[in-house]
Structure 1
Protein backbone atom coordinates (compact mmCIF):
# COMPACT_ATOMS: atom_id res chain seq x y z
CA UNK A 1 0.00 0.00 0.00
CA UNK A 2 1.12 3.57 -0.64
CA UNK A 3 1.28 6.00 2.26
CA UNK A 4 -1.83 7.73 0.92
CA UNK A 5 -3.72 4.42 0.82
CA UNK A 6 -2.59 3.67 4.38
CA UNK A 7 -3.64 7.15 5.53
CA UNK A 8 -7.13 6.88 4.04
CA UNK A 9 -7.55 3.37 5.47
CA UNK A 10 -6.70 4.54 8.99
CA UNK A 11 -3.40 2.67 9.11
CA UNK A 12 -0.08 4.01 10.42
CA UNK A 13 1.56 6.00 7.62
CA UNK A 14 4.57 8.21 6.95
CA UNK A 15 3.27 11.79 6.96
CA UNK A 16 6.46 13.00 5.26
CA UNK A 17 5.61 11.13 2.05
CA UNK A 18 6.41 13.45 -0.87
CA UNK A 19 3.11 12.77 -2.66
CA UNK A 20 1.17 13.65 0.48
CA UNK A 21 3.28 16.76 1.02
CA UNK A 22 2.44 17.96 -2.51
CA UNK A 23 -1.27 17.48 -1.87
CA UNK A 24 -1.00 19.29 1.48
CA UNK A 25 0.82 22.20 -0.11
CA UNK A 26 -1.78 22.47 -2.88
CA UNK A 27 -4.70 22.47 -0.42
CA UNK A 28 -3.04 24.95 1.92
CA UNK A 29 -2.32 27.26 -1.02
CA UNK A 30 -5.95 27.11 -2.19
CA UNK A 31 -7.14 27.88 1.36
CA UNK A 32 -4.84 30.90 1.51
CA UNK A 33 -6.11 32.17 -1.85
CA UNK A 34 -9.72 31.68 -0.71
CA UNK A 35 -9.04 33.49 2.55
CA UNK A 36 -7.73 36.48 0.61
CA UNK A 37 -11.03 36.92 -1.27
CA UNK A 38 -14.00 39.04 -0.25
CA UNK A 39 -17.58 37.87 0.35
CA UNK A 40 -18.82 39.41 -2.89
CA UNK A 41 -16.23 37.62 -5.05
CA UNK A 42 -18.64 34.73 -5.44
CA UNK A 43 -17.40 33.48 -8.82
CA UNK A 44 -13.77 33.46 -7.71
CA UNK A 45 -14.66 31.71 -4.46
CA UNK A 46 -16.67 29.10 -6.35
CA UNK A 47 -13.71 28.36 -8.62
CA UNK A 48 -11.44 27.83 -5.63
CA UNK A 49 -13.96 25.63 -3.82
CA UNK A 50 -14.36 23.51 -6.96
CA UNK A 51 -10.62 22.86 -6.94
CA UNK A 52 -10.25 22.37 -3.19
CA UNK A 53 -13.40 20.28 -2.63
CA UNK A 54 -14.12 18.31 -5.79
CA UNK A 55 -16.93 16.38 -4.05
CA UNK A 56 -19.42 19.03 -2.98
CA UNK A 57 -23.07 19.70 -3.63
CA UNK A 58 -24.81 22.91 -4.63
CA UNK A 59 -25.24 25.99 -2.47
CA UNK A 60 -22.32 25.69 -0.09
CA UNK A 61 -21.07 28.82 1.64
CA UNK A 62 -17.77 29.06 3.50
CA UNK A 63 -17.47 32.37 5.29
CA UNK A 64 -13.70 32.09 5.62
CA UNK A 65 -11.07 31.96 6.73
CA UNK A 66 -11.00 28.22 6.09
CA UNK A 67 -8.35 25.53 6.51
CA UNK A 68 -8.34 22.06 4.96
CA UNK A 69 -5.43 19.64 5.12
CA UNK A 70 -6.31 17.97 1.81
CA UNK A 71 -9.82 18.98 0.77
CA UNK A 72 -10.02 16.09 -1.67
CA UNK A 73 -10.73 13.75 1.27
CA UNK A 74 -13.81 15.76 2.32
CA UNK A 75 -17.26 15.28 0.82
CA UNK A 76 -19.91 17.97 1.44
CA UNK A 77 -23.59 17.72 0.51
CA UNK A 78 -25.98 20.44 -0.63
CA UNK A 79 -27.00 23.53 1.35
CA UNK A 80 -23.95 23.79 3.60
CA UNK A 81 -23.12 26.89 5.65
CA UNK A 82 -19.95 27.36 7.66
CA UNK A 83 -19.19 30.49 9.65
CA UNK A 84 -15.62 31.75 9.98
CA UNK A 85 -12.58 29.63 10.93
CA UNK A 86 -13.75 26.24 9.68
CA UNK A 87 -10.88 23.76 10.09
CA UNK A 88 -11.01 20.29 8.53
CA UNK A 89 -8.04 17.99 9.08
CA UNK A 90 -9.03 15.34 6.57
CA UNK A 91 -6.26 12.78 6.64
CA UNK A 92 -9.10 10.25 6.68
CA UNK A 93 -12.43 10.68 4.85
CA UNK A 94 -14.77 13.37 6.19
CA UNK A 95 -18.41 13.14 5.08
CA UNK A 96 -20.70 16.12 5.71
CA UNK A 97 -24.35 15.66 4.72
CA UNK A 98 -27.04 17.97 3.34
CA UNK A 99 -28.50 21.04 5.08
CA UNK A 100 -25.71 21.50 7.60
CA UNK A 101 -25.13 24.62 9.70
CA UNK A 102 -21.73 25.24 11.35
CA UNK A 103 -21.00 28.08 13.74
CA UNK A 104 -17.64 29.85 14.00
CA UNK A 105 -14.46 27.98 14.95
CA UNK A 106 -15.66 24.46 14.17
CA UNK A 107 -12.88 21.87 13.91
CA UNK A 108 -13.20 18.42 12.37
CA UNK A 109 -10.05 16.44 13.18
CA UNK A 110 -9.39 12.93 11.88
CA UNK A 111 -5.63 12.58 12.66
CA UNK A 112 -4.42 10.62 15.68
CA UNK A 113 -0.94 10.43 17.14
CA UNK A 114 0.85 8.08 19.48
CA UNK A 115 0.34 8.65 23.20
CA UNK A 116 4.01 7.94 23.93
CA UNK A 117 6.46 10.73 23.13
CA UNK A 118 8.82 8.43 21.23
CA UNK A 119 5.96 7.56 18.88
CA UNK A 120 5.08 11.21 18.23
CA UNK A 121 8.53 12.70 17.90
CA UNK A 122 10.02 13.59 14.55
CA UNK A 123 12.17 10.87 13.02
CA UNK A 124 14.68 10.97 10.18
CA UNK A 125 14.28 8.31 7.50
CA UNK A 126 16.53 8.34 4.43
CA UNK A 127 17.59 11.86 5.34
CA UNK A 128 14.02 13.14 5.50
CA UNK A 129 12.25 14.35 8.64
CA UNK A 130 8.90 12.67 9.21
CA UNK A 131 6.36 11.56 11.78
CA UNK A 132 4.14 8.49 11.91
CA UNK A 133 0.45 8.84 12.60
CA UNK A 134 -2.92 7.35 11.75
CA UNK A 135 -6.49 8.55 11.67
CA UNK A 136 -10.17 7.70 11.81
CA UNK A 137 -12.90 8.93 9.44
CA UNK A 138 -15.81 11.02 10.64
CA UNK A 139 -19.35 11.56 9.42
CA UNK A 140 -21.91 14.28 10.08
CA UNK A 141 -25.30 13.14 8.83
CA UNK A 142 -27.94 15.46 7.29
CA UNK A 143 -29.56 18.45 9.00
CA UNK A 144 -27.13 18.99 11.87
CA UNK A 145 -26.15 22.22 13.60
CA UNK A 146 -22.70 22.43 15.14
CA UNK A 147 -22.61 25.60 17.25
CA UNK A 148 -19.54 27.77 17.83
CA UNK A 149 -16.22 26.25 18.94
CA UNK A 150 -17.27 22.61 18.45
CA UNK A 151 -14.51 20.01 17.96
CA UNK A 152 -15.36 16.65 16.38
CA UNK A 153 -12.75 13.90 16.73
CA UNK A 154 -12.02 11.18 14.23
CA UNK A 155 -14.02 7.98 14.41
CA UNK A 156 -17.23 9.83 15.28
CA UNK A 157 -20.62 9.85 13.56
CA UNK A 158 -23.13 12.59 14.45
CA UNK A 159 -26.66 11.41 13.71
CA UNK A 160 -29.07 13.26 11.43
CA UNK A 161 -30.89 16.28 12.81
CA UNK A 162 -28.78 16.62 15.95
CA UNK A 163 -27.52 19.84 17.54
CA UNK A 164 -24.09 20.04 19.18
CA UNK A 165 -23.87 22.89 21.70
CA UNK A 166 -21.17 25.56 21.83
CA UNK A 167 -17.75 24.51 23.04
CA UNK A 168 -18.48 20.80 22.87
CA UNK A 169 -15.81 18.19 22.16
CA UNK A 170 -17.40 15.21 20.41
CA UNK A 171 -15.39 12.07 21.20
CA UNK A 172 -17.99 9.38 20.48
CA UNK A 173 -21.01 8.78 18.27
CA UNK A 174 -24.06 10.95 18.81
CA UNK A 175 -27.52 9.56 17.94
CA UNK A 176 -29.94 11.24 15.56
CA UNK A 177 -32.31 13.98 16.67
CA UNK A 178 -30.74 15.01 19.96
CA UNK A 179 -29.25 18.00 21.72
CA UNK A 180 -25.76 17.14 22.96
CA UNK A 181 -23.32 19.39 24.80
CA UNK A 182 -20.17 19.41 26.89
CA UNK A 183 -16.60 18.16 27.05
CA UNK A 184 -16.77 15.29 26.49
CA UNK A 185 -20.04 15.81 24.61
CA UNK A 186 -23.06 14.02 26.08
CA UNK A 187 -26.69 13.79 25.04
CA UNK A 188 -28.94 16.12 27.03
CA UNK A 189 -32.30 15.16 25.52
CA UNK A 190 -34.22 14.32 22.38
CA UNK A 191 -35.36 17.17 20.15
CA UNK A 192 -39.17 17.35 19.82
CA UNK A 193 -41.92 19.44 18.27
CA UNK A 194 -41.80 21.60 21.41
CA UNK A 195 -38.46 22.93 20.16
CA UNK A 196 -40.01 24.69 17.15
CA UNK A 197 -38.72 28.24 16.82
CA UNK A 198 -42.27 29.63 16.50
CA UNK A 199 -42.90 28.51 20.08
CA UNK A 200 -39.99 30.54 21.46
CA UNK A 201 -40.79 33.78 23.25
Structure 2
Protein backbone atom coordinates (compact mmCIF):
# COMPACT_ATOMS: atom_id res chain seq x y z
CA UNK A 1 0.00 0.00 0.00
CA UNK A 2 1.39 3.38 -1.01
CA UNK A 3 2.01 6.07 1.59
CA UNK A 4 0.81 9.67 1.42
CA UNK A 5 4.44 10.75 1.09
CA UNK A 6 4.88 8.50 -1.96
CA UNK A 7 1.75 9.94 -3.52
CA UNK A 8 2.97 13.47 -2.84
CA UNK A 9 6.39 12.87 -4.44
CA UNK A 10 4.79 11.10 -7.42
CA UNK A 11 2.54 14.13 -8.10
CA UNK A 12 -0.63 12.25 -7.12
CA UNK A 13 -3.41 13.33 -4.77
CA UNK A 14 -2.44 13.05 -1.11
CA UNK A 15 -3.49 14.13 2.38
CA UNK A 16 -1.09 15.35 5.06
CA UNK A 17 -0.77 12.52 7.58
CA UNK A 18 1.36 12.18 10.72
CA UNK A 19 4.46 11.26 8.71
CA UNK A 20 4.18 14.38 6.55
CA UNK A 21 3.40 16.52 9.59
CA UNK A 22 6.64 15.31 11.16
CA UNK A 23 8.45 16.30 7.96
CA UNK A 24 6.96 19.78 8.18
CA UNK A 25 7.95 20.10 11.84
CA UNK A 26 11.50 18.91 11.10
CA UNK A 27 11.88 21.60 8.44
CA UNK A 28 10.53 24.32 10.74
CA UNK A 29 13.07 23.46 13.42
CA UNK A 30 15.95 23.56 10.94
CA UNK A 31 14.63 26.80 9.43
CA UNK A 32 14.81 28.41 12.86
CA UNK A 33 18.53 27.60 12.85
CA UNK A 34 19.00 28.74 9.25
CA UNK A 35 17.25 32.05 9.74
CA UNK A 36 19.46 32.91 12.70
CA UNK A 37 22.71 32.22 10.81
CA UNK A 38 25.15 35.03 10.02
CA UNK A 39 28.09 33.61 8.07
CA UNK A 40 28.13 31.73 4.78
CA UNK A 41 29.84 28.81 6.51
CA UNK A 42 27.08 28.53 9.12
CA UNK A 43 24.40 28.75 6.42
CA UNK A 44 26.00 26.01 4.33
CA UNK A 45 26.17 23.64 7.29
CA UNK A 46 22.47 24.11 8.09
CA UNK A 47 21.41 23.89 4.43
CA UNK A 48 23.10 20.50 4.13
CA UNK A 49 20.78 19.32 6.93
CA UNK A 50 17.68 20.90 5.41
CA UNK A 51 17.83 20.08 1.70
CA UNK A 52 17.94 16.78 -0.19
CA UNK A 53 21.01 18.13 -2.02
CA UNK A 54 22.98 21.30 -1.44
CA UNK A 55 26.19 22.00 -3.33
CA UNK A 56 28.66 24.81 -2.76
CA UNK A 57 25.86 27.38 -2.84
CA UNK A 58 24.47 30.09 -0.59
CA UNK A 59 21.12 31.21 0.82
CA UNK A 60 20.63 34.59 2.48
CA UNK A 61 18.16 34.35 5.38
CA UNK A 62 15.28 34.59 5.89
CA UNK A 63 14.26 31.58 3.83
CA UNK A 64 11.11 29.41 3.99
CA UNK A 65 10.08 26.00 2.69
CA UNK A 66 7.70 23.17 3.54
CA UNK A 67 9.92 20.10 3.76
CA UNK A 68 13.38 20.85 2.35
CA UNK A 69 13.80 17.16 1.59
CA UNK A 70 12.24 17.72 -1.84
CA UNK A 71 14.67 20.51 -2.81
CA UNK A 72 17.85 19.83 -4.81
CA UNK A 73 20.33 22.71 -5.25
CA UNK A 74 23.50 22.46 -7.31
CA UNK A 75 26.84 24.28 -7.05
CA UNK A 76 27.60 27.98 -7.00
CA UNK A 77 23.94 29.04 -6.86
CA UNK A 78 22.72 31.97 -4.78
CA UNK A 79 19.36 32.83 -3.21
CA UNK A 80 18.83 36.35 -1.96
CA UNK A 81 16.66 37.04 1.10
CA UNK A 82 12.94 36.25 1.56
CA UNK A 83 12.75 33.34 -0.86
CA UNK A 84 9.99 30.76 -0.35
CA UNK A 85 9.72 27.23 -1.71
CA UNK A 86 6.50 25.24 -1.42
CA UNK A 87 8.13 21.87 -2.03
CA UNK A 88 5.29 19.36 -1.90
CA UNK A 89 6.74 18.24 -5.24
CA UNK A 90 10.43 18.26 -6.08
CA UNK A 91 12.27 21.47 -6.90
CA UNK A 92 15.53 21.13 -8.85
CA UNK A 93 17.89 24.11 -9.00
CA UNK A 94 20.96 23.73 -11.21
CA UNK A 95 24.48 25.17 -10.97
CA UNK A 96 25.26 28.90 -11.17
CA UNK A 97 21.64 29.95 -10.62
CA UNK A 98 20.97 33.45 -9.26
CA UNK A 99 17.65 34.12 -7.50
CA UNK A 100 16.73 37.66 -6.47
CA UNK A 101 14.90 38.60 -3.26
CA UNK A 102 11.25 37.81 -2.51
CA UNK A 103 10.85 35.04 -5.08
CA UNK A 104 8.41 32.15 -4.71
CA UNK A 105 8.59 28.61 -6.07
CA UNK A 106 5.15 27.03 -5.71
CA UNK A 107 4.72 23.37 -6.61
CA UNK A 108 1.36 22.91 -4.85
CA UNK A 109 -1.92 22.40 -6.72
CA UNK A 110 -5.52 22.05 -5.49
CA UNK A 111 -8.70 20.79 -7.19
CA UNK A 112 -10.40 23.39 -9.38
CA UNK A 113 -13.87 22.36 -8.17
CA UNK A 114 -14.60 24.11 -4.81
CA UNK A 115 -16.50 21.16 -3.31
CA UNK A 116 -13.62 18.82 -4.16
CA UNK A 117 -11.15 21.34 -2.77
CA UNK A 118 -12.98 21.34 0.59
CA UNK A 119 -12.45 17.58 0.89
CA UNK A 120 -8.72 18.11 1.42
CA UNK A 121 -6.60 16.10 -1.04
CA UNK A 122 -4.07 18.14 -2.98
CA UNK A 123 -1.11 17.44 -5.25
CA UNK A 124 1.99 19.08 -6.67
CA UNK A 125 4.03 19.31 -9.86
CA UNK A 126 7.81 19.62 -9.91
CA UNK A 127 9.76 22.76 -10.83
CA UNK A 128 13.09 22.57 -12.71
CA UNK A 129 15.50 25.49 -13.03
CA UNK A 130 18.46 24.56 -15.23
CA UNK A 131 22.07 25.81 -14.99
CA UNK A 132 23.03 29.48 -15.34
CA UNK A 133 19.53 30.89 -14.92
CA UNK A 134 19.01 34.34 -13.38
CA UNK A 135 15.61 35.01 -11.77
CA UNK A 136 14.87 38.62 -10.90
CA UNK A 137 13.38 39.66 -7.57
CA UNK A 138 9.68 39.29 -6.74
CA UNK A 139 9.21 36.61 -9.39
CA UNK A 140 6.87 33.65 -8.98
CA UNK A 141 7.62 30.24 -10.47
CA UNK A 142 4.48 28.11 -10.58
CA UNK A 143 4.03 24.34 -10.53
CA UNK A 144 5.16 22.18 -13.42
CA UNK A 145 7.49 24.80 -14.93
CA UNK A 146 10.95 24.25 -16.42
CA UNK A 147 13.26 27.22 -17.03
CA UNK A 148 15.90 26.46 -19.64
CA UNK A 149 19.65 26.81 -19.25
CA UNK A 150 21.10 30.32 -19.40
CA UNK A 151 17.80 32.17 -19.42
CA UNK A 152 16.91 35.37 -17.56
CA UNK A 153 13.54 35.95 -15.88
CA UNK A 154 12.84 39.66 -15.40
CA UNK A 155 11.90 41.00 -11.96
CA UNK A 156 8.26 40.67 -10.97
CA UNK A 157 7.47 37.93 -13.50
CA UNK A 158 4.91 35.18 -13.01
CA UNK A 159 6.19 32.09 -14.82
CA UNK A 160 3.28 29.79 -15.66
CA UNK A 161 4.75 27.92 -18.66
CA UNK A 162 8.13 26.48 -19.66
CA UNK A 163 10.81 28.97 -20.72
CA UNK A 164 13.34 27.81 -23.35
CA UNK A 165 17.13 28.04 -23.07
CA UNK A 166 19.09 31.27 -23.51
CA UNK A 167 16.28 33.81 -23.65
CA UNK A 168 15.22 36.93 -21.75
CA UNK A 169 11.63 36.59 -20.56
CA UNK A 170 9.47 38.72 -18.29
CA UNK A 171 5.92 39.78 -17.48
CA UNK A 172 2.71 38.41 -16.00
CA UNK A 173 2.29 35.91 -17.49
CA UNK A 174 5.99 35.59 -18.33
CA UNK A 175 6.72 35.66 -22.07
CA UNK A 176 9.93 35.47 -24.11
CA UNK A 177 11.26 38.88 -25.14
CA UNK A 178 14.34 37.87 -27.13
CA UNK A 179 17.17 35.36 -27.49
CA UNK A 180 20.49 35.84 -25.74
CA UNK A 181 22.95 35.91 -28.64
CA UNK A 182 26.60 36.31 -29.63
CA UNK A 183 26.40 40.11 -29.34
CA UNK A 184 25.55 39.76 -25.65
CA UNK A 185 28.48 37.40 -25.16
CA UNK A 186 30.98 39.72 -26.89
CA UNK A 187 29.72 42.85 -25.09
CA UNK A 188 29.82 41.34 -21.62
CA UNK A 189 33.08 39.44 -22.02
CA UNK A 190 34.73 42.70 -23.15
CA UNK A 191 33.36 44.50 -20.09
CA UNK A 192 34.48 41.74 -17.72
CA UNK A 193 37.96 41.66 -19.30
CA UNK A 194 38.26 45.43 -18.85
CA UNK A 195 37.21 45.11 -15.21
CA UNK A 196 39.90 42.52 -14.48
CA UNK A 197 42.50 44.59 -16.31
CA UNK A 198 41.69 47.37 -13.86
CA UNK A 199 41.62 45.03 -10.84
CA UNK A 200 43.93 42.10 -11.73
CA UNK A 201 44.30 41.08 -8.08
CA UNK A 202 40.60 40.12 -7.99
CA UNK A 203 40.79 37.62 -10.84
CA UNK A 204 40.16 34.06 -9.67
CA UNK A 205 42.87 31.51 -10.42
Report the TM-score, using the length of structure 2 for normalisation.
0.87
Bigger RCO (CA 8 Å, 6+ sep): 1
Instruction: Provide the C-alpha distance between the structure 2 equivalents of 1:101 and 1:44, rounded to a whole number of angstroms.
Output: 20
- 1:5 corresponds in structure 2 to 6
- In the TM superposition, residue 199 of structure 1 has moved relative to its aligned partner by 6.1
SS across alignment from 2:173: coil
Match of 1:135 among 111, 124, 130: 124
Gaps of 5+ in 2: 193-205
> Residues 174-185 of structure 1: matches in 2 within 5 Å?
174-185=163-174
SS across alignment from 2:122: strand
> Residues 21-32 of structure 1: matches in 2 within 5 Å?
21-32=21-32
Instruction: Provide the C-alpha distance between the structure 1 equivalents of 2:14 and 2:24, rounded to a whole number of angstroms.
Output: 15
Aligned length: 188
- 2:65 corresponds in structure 1 to 68
Q: Do the aligned partners of 2:146 and 2:162 also contact (CA within 8 Å) in 1?
A: yes
- 2:33 corresponds in structure 1 to 33
Q: Do the aligned partners of 2:52 and 2:70 also contact (CA within 8 Å) in 1?
A: no
- Superposed CA offset, 1:98-143 (max 9, x none): 000000011111000112222222x5xxxxxxx2101101100000
> Residues 62-141 of structure 1: matches in 2 within 5 Å?
62-121=59-118, 123=119, 131-141=120-130
Q: CA RMSD in A?
A: 1.5
- In the TM superposition, residue 54 of structure 1 has moved relative to its aligned partner by 3.5
Tell me if 1:168 matches 2:166.
Answer: no
- In the TM superposition, residue 35 of structure 1 has moved relative to its aligned partner by 0.8
- In the TM superposition, residue 193 of structure 1 has moved relative to its aligned partner by 2.7
- 1:127 corresponds in structure 2 to none
Structure possessing the higher radius of gyration over alpha carbons: 2
Instruction: Provide the C-alpha distance between the structure 2 equivalents of 1:64 and 1:133, rounded to a whole number of angstroms.
Output: 29
